[in-house]
Structure 1
Amino acid sequence: MTVTDGTPSIPDALARLPRVVDLLAARAEEHDRDATFPYQGIEAVHEAGLLTLTVGRRYGGPGAGLAETVHLLAQLGRGDASVAVLAADTLLVHAEQARTGGWPAALYRRLLTESRRGPALLNTLPGEPGEHPGTLARRDGTGWRLHGREGWCAGAEALAWMAVRARTDEDQPRTGWFLVRGDSPGIELDPVWDQLGLRAAGGQEVLLDDVAVAADAVVGLTPPGRKGEPAAEADRQVTTAWRELALSAVHLGVARAAQEWLVSFLGRRTPANLTEPLATLPRYRAAVAEIEVSLIGAEELLHGLAARIDRGERSAALRTGAAQLLINRSATAVVQQAVTLTGNPGLSRRHPLERYLRDLLTGRTHLPSEDTTLDALSTALL
């Protein structure tokens, strides 16, 4: 099974990143202002071979690990955080398939064929937290029919496939993942997305009204509350670790973009009461150095943990909750400090800094809240 003839190697694909990042950055302000979907940016990521970088080698893909994935997403985040989030959702699905083989073989083969023809965006709709998803799956002959409403779904208007977590209407309900074509009859999108940031991510509510799902497009049906086998639990921990570090990489990329803009601004900004740019003043030089220290620390944490997870160190996967909290605190603090240092220009929509801040604040919704992370850590310790 192959993705495409001439699939680029990981180094070749990553070598195309600078051009892709420049293209994303050139259109990011426009898409943010109008809340329009970044089709051109997604196409550029796809054409560079980056959207399928995590397709497993057994499927003919490059088989990128987490280390390469966080590098890729941090760079995409520098260009346009919305495109980076959409790419992350797709890369994470392919990466999990490479590790666990959860998708039925025939269905995944179909997905790879679609990925050869053009961008095939993917997303997972886990529903509300807890053991009882709001979406209901009813028997229909040998298959199923889905009924429900799923909350914010990035890329909803352009998804090739979505994995929907639902519960069955059986006497003893089970929960599982129902693999649904994005253009299936019965799917409607409620255009409620009007968020502070990530405005180009196209997140909408998904209404499922009698959506047909074949019997062989359902994965992992189990009774609620049943604990998985130790191996399955380890797989779940690695899946969570990939997601936490992947999205943290996007946020760190945004912070790097903010730092780059700040350095450029300070180098050319000479207030009327000065004869030299702000970059010559000790206060600003010290602040820029502090920002660099924060970013270096966050990047070392991100890339170090990613490499350890690639080596199979289970202890590393258990630390990504704390790591994502630290990384995202650092990224947010960096951008807030940049806004403080630049004053009114930093808050002007003529410049990208205020967009970077809005994207970071909105991006928090993609990861566990600080309270959730801290509660899990305290529970393990106490």
Structure 2
Amino acid sequence: MTATTEPVRTLPVPDLSPAALAAVTAEVATYAAEHDRSGAVPLPGLEAVHRAGLLTATVGTAHGGPGLGPRDAARILTAVGQGDASVALIVANTLNAHAAQAERPHWPAEAYDDLLRRSLDGPAPVNAIRAEPELGAPARGGLPTTTARRTDDGWELSGHKAYATGGTALAYHVVWAVADEPDGDPERPRVGHVLVPADAEGITWIETWDHLGLRASNTHDVVYDRVRVPAASFVEIPRGADGVYRDPAAASGPGSLGHAALYVGVARAARAAFVDFASTRVPAALGRPIATTERIQAVAGEVDVLVVQAETLLHGALLRLEAGDTSIVPELSGIKVAIARSVVAAVQTAVAALGNPALSRHGSLERHLRDVLCVRVHPPQEDTALLAAGRRVLGV
């Protein structure tokens, strides 16, 4: 398989100054409530991220991109997540895909060049589409029932996938499948990802997503009915030295912290909403803003400490990775859990202090609460992370 080695185009270098990121946050936030209510694909938010050059920030320099690393990606995702968590989730998946290609080129040249061309024309999100209705999350083990059948000139993809974030906004699907080959080993088939352009024939969306949070992420089911792709479109995931297939999504890395970063943005948004309400709410019996009371000041301090804790964990871990400290790698799952606990606690604390106004859909705090709870579903999930950490420290 050949991969792009010479840039065929130049992609924009994004401005990551605090002011520029704040402007993106503000524009994305403009549409967040509307899309949360309708569940529509959040195209205006994606277009804002695209115009700022953020959607291709992790495209490698070898491919004409800026080649930004995990810490910059985390800053982007926190800023976008502060505006709209649904948009940020789609962006996170896209940045992860480009970062993986930059680190280890594996897309065929024609497909990746096509993706980059689409990225110049407008938002071109990518997602690894892996879960299935019967299997559930692949990080829990098992193999997909989705199959890529070998043909004379390529592959024919068929199967039903669940939780395909991005929906019809996607430019490419990276579909987890088992190879069905005439000369393959039926007892130990090859497993990999099939790179599928979103406009290929045979793709049908089923609008199943009706979720508590991330309502505009369009994480619907998708069916592939004999979708034909070229031979180079199947990218095998190698088995281990012992011949056992292990799902790469079950392992922690900078990408999993990228997902956590967007929820740091949600916690920031909740903190800002709390401050705004406390500064403008003047009960008749009090005669002054509730922000002037010690109780609310203490709550604001608690929320702030939790947000700062999450941000420090996130960037501290990424700084250590950036410095080449590989000793932290086994701890990344636990760090993701700690970040998740901090951001959920921050939003819940703000909501609990304000009572009914925080739960009203006339404000944004109830949306931030619903969105932040979704941090727990991203792998590695808490139970598996704690089990792994326990076995590591106990040496068993």
Alignment-derived partner of residue 317 in structure 1:
329
Q: Which residue of 2 aligns with 1:114?
A: 118
Cα distance in structure 1, aligned partners of 2:167 and 2:18: 27
Partner of 2:287: 275
Match for residue 157 of structure 1? 168
Offset from partner CA, 1:219-268 (integer Å, 9 cap, x none): 1254687358xxxx9xx599831222111111110001100110111111
Q: 1:299 aligns with which of 303, 311, 315?
A: 311
Q: Which residue of 2 aligns with 1:82?
A: 86
Cα distance, 1:144 vs. partner? 1.4
Query: Partner letter of residue 243 of structure 2?
Result: R
Distance 1:210 1:237, change over 3 A: closer
Match of 2:192 among 169, 173, 176: 176
1:313 deviates by 2.2
Matched, 1:334 2:350: no
Q: C-alpha distance in 2, partners of 1:113/1:31?
A: 28
SS at match of 1:52: coil
What SS class does the counterpart of residue 253 from structure 2 fall into?
helix
Is residue 2:320 matched to residue 1:308? yes
What are the Cα deviations for residues 70-129 of structure 1, in whole angstroms up to 9, with x where unaligned? 011001111000011111110000001111112123321222122112211100012342
| CA 12–326 in structure 1, closer or farther in 2 if over 3 Å, else same | closer
Distance in 1 (CA, whole Å) between partners of 2:155 and 2:142 is 20
Aligned counterpart, 1:26: 30
Equivalent position to 1:136, from 147, 152, 160: 147
* 1:209 alignment partner, one of 218, 225, 250: 225
- Counterpart-to-counterpart distance in 1, 2:351 and 2:205: 36
- For 1:184-199, list aligned pairs within 5 A: 184-199=200-215
Conservation of the 8 A alpha-carbon contact between 1:248 and 1:324? yes
Q: TM-score, normalised by structure 2?
A: 0.89
Indicate whether 1:343 and 2:355 are aligned: yes
Distance 1:283-1:15 versus aligned 2 partners, 3 A rule: closer
Structure 1 window deviating more from structure 2 (215-224 vs 284-293): it is 215-224
Q: Deviations over 1:33-65 (max 9, x none)?
A: 111111111111111111000001111111111
Q: Which residue of 2 aligns with 1:55?
A: 59
Aligned to 2:376: 364
Q: Spell out, residue by residue over 1:161-203, the C-alpha distance to the aligned partner (whole angstroms, 9 max, x if none).
A: 1111111233431111111111211111111111011111111
Partner of 1:226: 243
Contact persistence 2:195–2:234 (CA under 8 A): yes
Could you state the TM-score of these two structures normalised by the residue count of structure 1?
A: 0.93
Cα deviation for residue 14 of structure 1 reads 7.0
How far apart in 2 are the matches of 1:223 and 1:376?
Answer: 21
* SS of residue matched to 1:208: strand
Amino acid in the other structure paired with 1:189: W
The one of 247, 260, 275 aligned to 2:272: 260
Q: Which residue of 1 aligns with 2:260?
A: 248
The count of residues paired between Structure 1 and Structure 2 equals 376
Could you tell me how far 1:269 is from its partner in structure 2? Answer: 1.1
* Residue 66 of structure 1, CA deviation: 0.6
**1:285 paired to 2:297:** yes
Task: Report the equivalent of 1:167.
Answer: 178
Partner letter of residue 48 of structure 1? Answer: A
Structure with greater helix share of residues: 1
Give unmatched runs, 5+ long, in structure 2.
Answer: 1-5, 132-136
How far apart in 2 are the matches of 1:266 and 1:15?
A: 25
Show CA shifts across 1:123-169 (max 9, x none): 00123422421211212114111111111111121111111111123
Does the 8 A contact of 1:241 with 1:318 survive in 2?
A: no
Residues 91 and 238 (structure 1), Cα distance of their counterparts in 2 relative to 1, 3 Å cut: farther
- Give the secondary-structure state (helix, strand or coil) at the position aligned to 2:149: strand
Mapped pair 1:37 → 2:53 = no
Q: Which amino acid aligns with 2:116?
A: L
CA contact (8 A) 1:3 1:61 kept: no
Instruction: Give the root-mean-square deviation of aligned CA atoms.
Output: 2.2
- Greater mean deviation of Cα atoms: 214-223 or 337-346: 214-223
How far apart are 1:381 and its partner, in Å? 2.6
Shift of 1:328: 0.9
Deviations 1:299-358 (A, max 9, x none): 111011112222332223322211111111111111111111111100000000000011
